[in-house]
Structure 1
Amino acid sequence: MTALGTAYWRLWSSSGLSNLADGIVKVALGLVAVQYTRSPALVAGLATVLSLPWLVFALHAGVLADRVDRRRAMLTANVIRAGLLASLTAAIALGFGSIWLLYVVALGLGLAETVHDTAAQAILPQVVGRDQLTRANSRLYAAELTANEFAGPPVGGFLVAAGAFAAFAAPSALWIVAIVALFFVPGSFRAERTRETSVREDLVEGLRFLWENRILRILAIMVGGFNFATSAMITIFVLHAVGPSSAMGLSEQAYGFLLSAIALGSFAASFAAERIELALGRTRSLVLSLLTGAALVGIPAVTTNPYVIGAVFFLGGAGVVVWNVVVVSLRQRIIPDHLLGRGTSGHRLVAWGTKPLGALAAGLLAEVVGLRPVFAGAAALILALVLLCPREW
C-alpha cells in the first residue's frame, strides 16, 4: 500500500487544528449566545448566519478555488478566521460583547469557512493519487471529526465555563498554528486553465457538469435533505439540553461531552469506512447511514436520558462518516481537476445551503410547536430520503 506522503500529513495536521478551532467556536457561539438571550429564534438565527454563506457564496468560492492556488486560498481563509476571533475576544474583554456582535463574527467565519473547505476538498487529489482517495479521506475525516466534534465540544464547554474571553481566544490561536502547518505543504496547487473565461462562464460550466451527472445530482439532493434535518435538530438541541429550565438540565460541560459522542462514533467508523463500503457496497452503506442519522436527530423526541441519547449519537456519528467517505471519494474521482472546486461548491450549495434553512425553520417551528415535534419531524425527513438512494452506480 503506497504511503500518503509528507505533504498529505502536513495538510492533515493543518486540517485537524482548523477543525478543532471550528468545533470549539461552534459550541461556544451557542453557549455564549444563551447568555445574551433565551429566544429560540435568535439562537437559531446565529446558526443560520454561520452557515448562510454556503447558500449565497458557495458557487463563487468554487470559482475562486479553480482560479487561484488552493493552498493559498486556505491560508487566507484561516488568517481571516483567526483575526475575527481575536477581534471578538478583544471586544468582549472591553465589555462590548452582544448577540449582534456574535452575528457579525459568525457571518465572517462562515464566509471564510466556505472558501477554506471548498479549496480543501479540491486540493486533496493534487496531494495524493486518485486511487488513494478513499484511504486519504478516511484518515482526514478521522482527524477532522475527532477535532471538530469529539475534542471541540467538551473543550468549548469548559472554555465557556471559564469565560467568553477564553472560549474565543483559544480557537484564534489554534488557527494560527494551523496556518503554520499548511504553509509548509510544498508545491503549487493551481488548477490548469486552457482559456480565459468569465466568472459567469465558470459558474455555468460547473453547475452543468453537476446537473448532467445523475449520481452526483441525486447525492447532492440527499445530502441537502439530511443536512436540513440535522441542522434543525442541533440548532435547538442546546435549548433542550442545557440549563436548569431545560428538559435535560445539563451543564455546559456535560452538553459538550454529550455532543462528543457523535464524533467518537465518527472516529471509530473512519477506520472502518473503507471496509464497510467493500462489504456492503455503496447503496447499502448509504442506507445504513440514513437510518442511523434518523435515529440521531429523533432520539431527543422520545427520551431525556443522556446515556441513551449518547449511545444513539455514537451510532449516528458513525453513519455520518461512512456517508462522507463514500460520497466525497466518489465525487473527487468523477469530477475533473479543473472543475473540482466548482463541482464541490455546486454540490455544497445544495447540500450545505440547506443548513441555514434548517436552522431557521427549527427556530420558528420550535416557537410554535415546541422542541420535541421538531426532532421527530427531522427524523421523518431523513427516513424519506432512503427512497432516493441510487440503486445503480
Structure 2
Amino acid sequence: MPNGNLRSPTDSLGGQFPLLLGSSATSNLADGIVKVALPLIAVQWTDSPVLVGGILAASTLPWLLFALPAGLLVDALDRRRAMMLANLLRASALALASISILVGEHSLWMLYATAFVLGSAETVHDTAAQSLLPSVVAPAALERANGRLSTAEVTTNGFAGPPLGGLLISVSAVLGVVIPAGLWIVALLALFALSVTPQARPVGPLRWRHELLGGIRFAWANTVLRTMAGMVALCNLATSAFLGSFVVYAVGPNSVLGATAFQYGLLMALAGVGSVLGALGAAKAASVMGRGRLLALSLLGMASFIGAPSIVPALSALTVTFLIGGAAVAVWNVVTVSFRQRITPDALLGRVNAIYRLLTWGTIPVGALLGGSIGSLVGLTELFALAAGAAIVSLVGLRWVNESSMAENELRA
C-alpha cells in the first residue's frame, strides 16, 4: 500500500514527485540520445538499410516478447527497485558497448545485442514507472502528474535527446554511448532517493501462468477497460499505417507534397509540440468539459491528423493537423492512463499496464506493414482516408467509455 505521508488527500503532487519526474526526464534523455546514436554508429560500419534498420527492430522486439512478463515482474517485485535495476542494466550494456568500440570491435551484432538489452530493460522500467506513480501522488493529482511526466518525456526523448545524440556521435562514437550510460546512473540515483512504501508482494511461489491470466481477466472483465483496449489498438493501427507510409507521400521531388527532409522533420517536431501542449492542458480541459467529451475530441483530432492529407494535400495545412494530432494523442494518454491507475488494484497494476503497452507498441509494426501493403494496392491517399475512417470507428467505444461510466468505476475502486 502507498505510504500515507506521501499522498495528500488534495491534488498536490507531493514532495516525492520531483524525484520521480527528474529520474524520468534523465532516463528519457538517455533514451533519446541512444535511439539516434546506435543507428549513426551502425552507418559508419555498413551502408545497408536493412542492417541499419535492424537496430530499431532489435530495440522494439522486446515489447512484443516481454511486455506481459514484464508486467508480472513489476507486480511481484518492488517497483522502485525494478526501475533501478533496469537503469543499471542499461548503463552496463552501454558500458560494454563502449569498451567494444574502444578496442576496435566494429560488430553490428554487438549493436543489435545492445539495442535488444536496452529494449528489454525498457519494458520493465516503463511498466514499473507507470505502476509506481499512484504510490507517489494523490489520486486527484494523477492527470497533472501524468501530464508532467508526458511533457518531460516528449521534451527530453523527442526534442533534446536526438540532436544531442547526433552531436555526440559527430565528436566520438564512444561519447554517444558513454554519456547516456552516465545519465541512466543519474536516473538510478534519483530513484534511490525516492521514498515510497513497496506494494504488497505475492505470498509463496509465483505461479506465472495463473498470475498473468489474473491481470488479463481483470482488464477483460471491466467494460470500460476492455473497450479502451480495443479503441487503443484500433487507433494505433490506423496511426501506424499512416505514419509508416507518410514519408513516401511527403518527401522528395516526386512525392505528392514535394517536401524536403527538413520540412518533414519540422512536421514531426510540430507533433511533438502538440504533445507537450496536450499533456500540460489535459487535466484542466478534463475538469472543464468532462473526460468523455475530451476523449471524443481527442479521437476526432487523431482522425483529422491521419485523414487530412487525403483531403488537403498541402504542407501548410498539415502543419496545423500535425500539431492537433500530437495534442490529441497526449490528451488521450493522460486521461486514460490516469483512469486506469485509479481503478486497478495495486497488486494488478503492472500486468494491466503491460497489456496496454503491448497493444500500444505491438500494433506499431503490424500497422506499418498493413499500411504499406494497402497503400501499394489502392494508393496512399486512399490509405490515409481508410485509416482515418478506422480512427473514427473507435468513437463507437464512447458508448461505454464516458464520464458517467468512468466515475462509477472510480467510486467502486
- Count of residue pairs brought into register by the alignment: 389
User: What is the correspondence of 1:1-393 to structure 2 with a 5 Å cutoff?
Assistant: 1-29=10-38, 36-37=46-47, 39=49, 46-92=55-101, 96-97=105-106, 100-159=109-168, 165-193=174-202, 196-235=205-244, 248-250=259-261, 258-298=267-307, 303=313, 305=315, 308-362=317-371, 377-391=386-400, 392=402, 393=405
Paired residues of 2:127 and 2:350 also in contact (CA < 8 A): yes
- Retained in 2: the 8 A contact 1:159–1:166? yes
TM-score normalised by structure 1 residue count: 0.84
SS of 2:327's equivalent in the other structure is: helix
TM superposition shift of 1:334: 0.9
Distance 2:154 2:284 in 1: 19
Deviations 1:248-271 (A, max 9, x none): 3325xx765543322221222222
Deviation larger for 365-374 or 333-342: 365-374
In structure 2, what is the Cα distance between the partners aligned to 1:385 and 1:13?
A: 35
**CA gap 1:384/1:163 in 2 versus in 1, 3 angstroms:** farther
Deviation at 1:348, TM superposition (A): 2.2
How far is the alpha carbon of 1:232 from its aligned partner? 4.2
Q: Is the 8 A contact 1:233 1:374 kept in 2?
A: yes
Asked whether the 8 Å contact 1:11–1:181 carries over to 2, the reply is yes
Deviation at 1:326, TM superposition (A): 0.7
Secondary structure in structure 2 of the residue aligned to 1:272: helix
Query: Distance in 1 between the 2:358 and 2:210 partners?
Result: 17
Secondary structure at the aligned position of 1:57 is classed as: helix
Q: 1:171 to 1:291 in 2, by over 3 A?
A: farther
Tell me how far apart the structure 1 counterparts of residues 349 and 127 of structure 2 sit (CA, whole Å). Answer: 9
Read off the aligned partner of 1:51 and give its amino acid letter: T
Cα pair 1:28 1:160 within 8 Å, conserved: yes
Unaligned runs of 5+ in 2: 1-9, 406-413
8 A Cα contact 2:25 2:156, kept in partner: yes
**What's the % identity of the aligned pairs?**
46
| Deviation for aligned residue 1:81 | 1.9
Distance in 2 between the 1:105 and 1:170 partners?
A: 15
Tell whether the 8 Å contact from 1:130 to 1:333 is kept in structure 2 after alignment: yes
Q: Could you say if the C-alpha distance between residues 315 and 94 of structure 1 is closer, same or farther in structure 2, counting changes exceeding 3 Å?
A: farther
Cα offset for 1:328?
A: 0.5
Task: Say which is worse superposed, 268-277 or 111-120, in terms of deviation.
Answer: 268-277
TM-score (norm 2): 0.80
Rg bigger for which structure? 2
* Code of the aligned partner of 2:185: I
The CA deviation at 1:186 is 1.9
C-alpha distance after superposition, 1:259-300 (max 9, x if no partner): 332222122222211122123322222222222223434556
The alpha carbon displacement at 1:149 in A equals: 2.1
Q: CA deviation at 1:220?
A: 1.2
Looking at structure 2, the residues matched to 269 and 220 of structure 1 have their Cα atoms a distance apart, in angstroms, of: 21
Letter in 1 for 2:281: A
* Structure showing greater relative contact order (alpha-carbon pairs closer than 8 Å, 6 or more residues apart): 1
Measure, in 1, the Cα distance between the counterparts of 2:53 and 2:249. Answer: 13
CA change 1:93–1:386 in 2 (3 A) is farther
Return 197-206 or 30-39, whichever deviates more: 30-39
Q: Deviations over 1:31-51 (max 9, x none)?
A: 666774564x66666544433
Long gaps (5+) in structure 1: none
Rounded to whole Å, the distance in 2 between the matches of 1:117 and 1:124 is 11
Q: Does the CA-based 8 Å contact 2:31-2:161 persist in structure 1? A: yes
In 1, distance between residues paired with 2:81 and 2:232?
28
